[in-house]
Structure 1
Amino acid sequence: MTTYTRARPTMMRVFLVQTAQGLTPSSGGYKANVSLLRSLSMQGHATAQICYAVEDEIDQYARRAELKGISPNITHKPLPVVDPAGKVHELYVKTFTDEYKRDELTSRMATLINLFSEHIASFQPTHVIFNDPITMKITESHEIRDTFKRINIIHTAEQLPFGPFVAGVDGHCLSPVVENKMLRELDGIWSVSKAVQDYAWKYGRLKTTFLVHPCMTYLDQTSGGMPRIRNNIDKEEIGMVNPCPHKGLSILIALAQKFPHMKFVTWKSWGSRTAHVQQLQALPNVKIEPTTRNTDEIWDRVKVLLAPSLWYEAWGIVVTEAQLRGIPVIASNAGGLPEAKIGLPYCIPVKEVTGERHANGDYVVPDQDIGPWEDALQKVMTDREEYQALQILTATKAGEWLRSLDPRAHEKWLLSMMEQA
């Protein structure tokens, strides 16, 4: 049995269903989910999450908890699962407590609905938070449904069951009609940007609450303090994360071809398929790195970050992360990226995807005017005075922005639901 953190009656007990692969996923949205739990835990609330992990991650997290004097209380038990062919597989489910006293439950299959229900019941939450339709359905008729609030986090427009981007990403919005009804029965819906909030209202007349990601999302993950500002003026590489068509792969390729003397480096992520990697491999001035969960590897290396996204970005956490470290970002104005840019140069207009898709499901990507991108990159990479001034401005304004956020905004919102009840 899992040992859960005991809470005073006035505490919240927040249970998160995390659908990313790994305890430290590279996706910005899932990083924000984890940061929410860490913030609430540090504010005195009991928290837990159910997620998918690999064995070495569990050992690493347990060791970190022990170093802080917290017993990880690792337990494990076999769980028989029947596949579609009728064959029984025995999986092992582990539970443990991490360094933030946040209880963890790890598994390797996304179809363990009974397991989800069991651990929600065991934890006795005041709030269940999720961003997937399966959990929304599970909690709709859960045996202790009347004892907790249900909150959905909207990380992408594709999650919503209406509008031009409905079901535009695999695994999002499995049944639009059913999900549209269920969304309107929730206790809270968190939009991570004004862009997503506006989209939900424009296409679905769905009211949501806009909250910027928890402050901890952007703090240094080791020290818990403000990120270390880099001085990368003498670095040579131009970076991009998650190269794929709707993230602006065509713009990256055009820039690499235009400036063969410049060095580019990309980090693969969830959208990068074999075909996209092969396009980049054909360019001699582009390096391709595997997915990294340690973004310091990126910030220690790049002089400039490109974020040429062409889809309706919810926010763009990587943009804000770079700017907090004094690294200039050349981004598009798609979706919520102008919000992530917080008014800093450069934010370049693009022709966004419209929702039209190819036969294979990929978005049809419009041709782009590459001229503004060429001008911005040329200036930042070759004009030292321009770079130095932009570096200082970027670090200063980004730091001021982060310090201006209310670190208890999410806590207050969740507590207000209990007060209304």
Structure 2
Amino acid sequence: MMRVFLVQTAQGLTPSSGGYKANVNLLRSLSDQGHAVAQICYAFEDEVKEYATRAEAKGIEPNVTDALVPVVDPKGVVHELFVKTFTDEDKIHNVAIARDAFNTAYPRDELSTRMQTLVRLFSAHIAAFKPTHVIFNDPITMKLTAFHPARHMFKRINIIHTAEQLPFGPFVAGVDGHCLSPRVENEMLRELDGIWSVSMAVKEYAWTYGQLETTFLVHPPMTYLDRDGGMPVVRNNVDKDEIGMVNPCPHKGLSILIALAKKFPDMKFVTWRSWGSRTVHLEQLKALPNVKIERTTENTDEIWDRIKVLLAPSLWHEAWGIVVTEAQLRGIPVIASNAGGLPEAKIALPYCIPVNEVTGKRQANGDYVIPEQDITPWEQALETVMTDRDEYQALQALTATTADKWLRGMDPRAHEKWLLSMMDEQ
């Protein structure tokens, strides 16, 4: 039996990022296969209560514990950092750092002291769990595990969720918090026991720009199943009238969404804001009378029950595009760009439209420079699926059956086999 310890960097137990979903579903899969799993993560107080309640409803004792860890901020003020541990409904052991208290004690601009505290906290809980594998997607954990006293006892695995994580190539350090020291991280990556690329696009990027060999594995099938482990429910949304987009922001194709909303003022658009959606982006959407903005939702059924078509007009080097696969498994047509790994997520289904991707060039504020786009193919595709009932129904049926066959053809134990193979190499 393996003992797998995962370090999460997302804020909260229920963030909307695809990387978080991939991480936690890896643990859920391994737990279901009989392995001991744990994660250290950030959480809100109400999230811990909710997760404990859900565990109890399934007959699992959550065993919630509380600890106060005194920490000193850069100004010498002592704060009490709340750390809770509990077991959730998937039998994952969670070490949950109180998000608000931690961010108050260590603002993001206080990087050095923030890292020192994380290193001490992560190191202690890794030692206590006695893992066979430590999995992460951040440079802090990669460094601390390299010098951990129990280093000889576990394998070290990095998950590459974005090209920006990698310390080379045109997108190096393009996302806040990724790639803090390119030269050092480039050396450390080559000392790991395994690197998981979540798409061929990421794998090829790592090799092209850094001659770094990685292992490509699609997300665990559980990533796409319903919470009860069943196949997603296929929708028949031909009579719906809303066009959806998740995480509207410039590098996710905000300009294309705005252009389409202006071109089709009688069509209804709805967006769900997420990690990339800043106030300035939302203000642009609020100025459009046919666009609605919804809060981030953990329950994605709220999206799938509502929309007729999903837009995924991303302009950056997408690692995969989990939301695209989720929609297609529910029979919802997706009009996506061909950026990065999106063609892989599309699994050869219509529509996958060529775009001018971001090149890595940045504005003065660090944001990517967004190239001009040809909106014509987007207009044609959207008009077809929104106005041609026969075309929509044919595409809906093709989408549902193709995605179902794709998911059923996946190996649910692929990640387990890969991790176990590392132990065989000892």
Q: How far is the alpha carbon of 1:337 from its aligned partner?
A: 0.1
Give the Cα separation in 1 of the matches to 2:200 and 2:312.
19
Q: Which residue of 2 aligns with 1:89?
A: 79
**Counterpart in the other structure of 1:180:** 186
Aligned pairs (5 A) from 1:121-270 = 121-221=127-227, 223-270=228-275
**Residues in 1 aligned to 2:53 and 2:279: alpha-carbon distance in whole angstroms:** 36
| Aligned pair partner of 2:328 in 312, 319, 323 | 323
Compare 370-379 and 93-102 and name the one that shifted more: 93-102
Q: Which residue of 2 aligns with 1:72?
A: 62
Mapped partners of 2:363, 2:13: distance in 1 = 33
- Three-state SS of the structure 2 residue aligned to 1:302 is coil
Further displaced range: 45-54 or 84-93: 84-93
Q: How far apart are 1:220 and its partner, in Å?
A: 0.5
Task: Using the TM superposition, give the Cα deviation of residue 100 of structure 1 relative to its aligned residue in structure 2, in angstroms.
Answer: 1.5
Matches within 5 A, 1:340-355: 340-355=345-360
Q: Distance in 1 between matches of 2:301 and 2:19?
A: 18
Match of 1:395, SS state, is helix
Work out which of the residue numbers 272, 290, 293 in structure 2 matches 1:285. 290
Gaps of 5+ in 1: 1-10
2:29 to 35, 39, 44: 39
Secondary structure, counterpart of 1:238 in structure 2: strand
Write the distance in 1 (CA, Å) between the matches of 2:159 and 2:81.
29
Instruction: Work out the CA distance in 2 between the residues paired with 1:272 and 1:25.
Output: 14
* Residue aligned with 1:20, SS: coil
Partner residue of 1:13?
Answer: 3
- Post-superposition CA distance 1:25-68 (Å, at most 9, x none): 10011101000000000000000000001111111111111122
Structure 2 unaligned segments of length 5 or more: list them: 103-113
**Matched letter for residue 77 of structure 1:** A
Of 44, 57, 62, which residue of structure 2 is paired with 1:54? Answer: 44
TM-score scaled by structure 1? 0.97
Matched residues in 2 for 1:357 and 1:216: separation? Answer: 37
- What TM-score results when the alignment is normalised by the length of structure 2? 0.96
Q: CA deviation at 1:318?
A: 0.1
2:370 aligned with 1:365: yes
Alpha-carbon deviation of 1:22?
1.3
Inter-partner Cα distance in structure 1 for 2:58 and 2:268 = 42
Aligned residues: 410
**Equivalent-residue separation in structure 2 for 1:369 and 1:84 (angstroms):** 49
Question: What is the identity percentage for the equivalent residue pairs of Structure 1 and Structure 2?
Answer: 79
**Secondary structure of residue in 1 paired with 2:386:** helix
Q: Distance in 2 between matches of 1:97 and 1:143?
A: 26
Residue 69 of structure 1: how far off its partner (Å): 1.6
Of 288-297 and 333-342, deviating more is 288-297
Q: 77-86 or 322-331, which moves further after superposition?
A: 77-86
> 3-state DSSP class of the match of 2:10?
strand
Which residue identity lines up with residue 378 of structure 1 in the other structure? E
In structure 2, give the amino acid aligned to 1:236: D
Q: Hey, what does 2:388 align to over in structure 1?
A: 383
Structure 2 residue matching 1:414: 3-state secondary structure: helix
Output the amino acid matched with 1:20.
A
Q: Deviations for 1:90-133, whole angstroms, at most 9, x for unmatched residues?
A: 12110001112110010023642211000000000000000000
SS of structure 2 residue aligned to 1:90:
strand
Amino acid at match of 1:301: R
Q: Distance in 2 between matches of 1:41 and 1:378?
A: 45
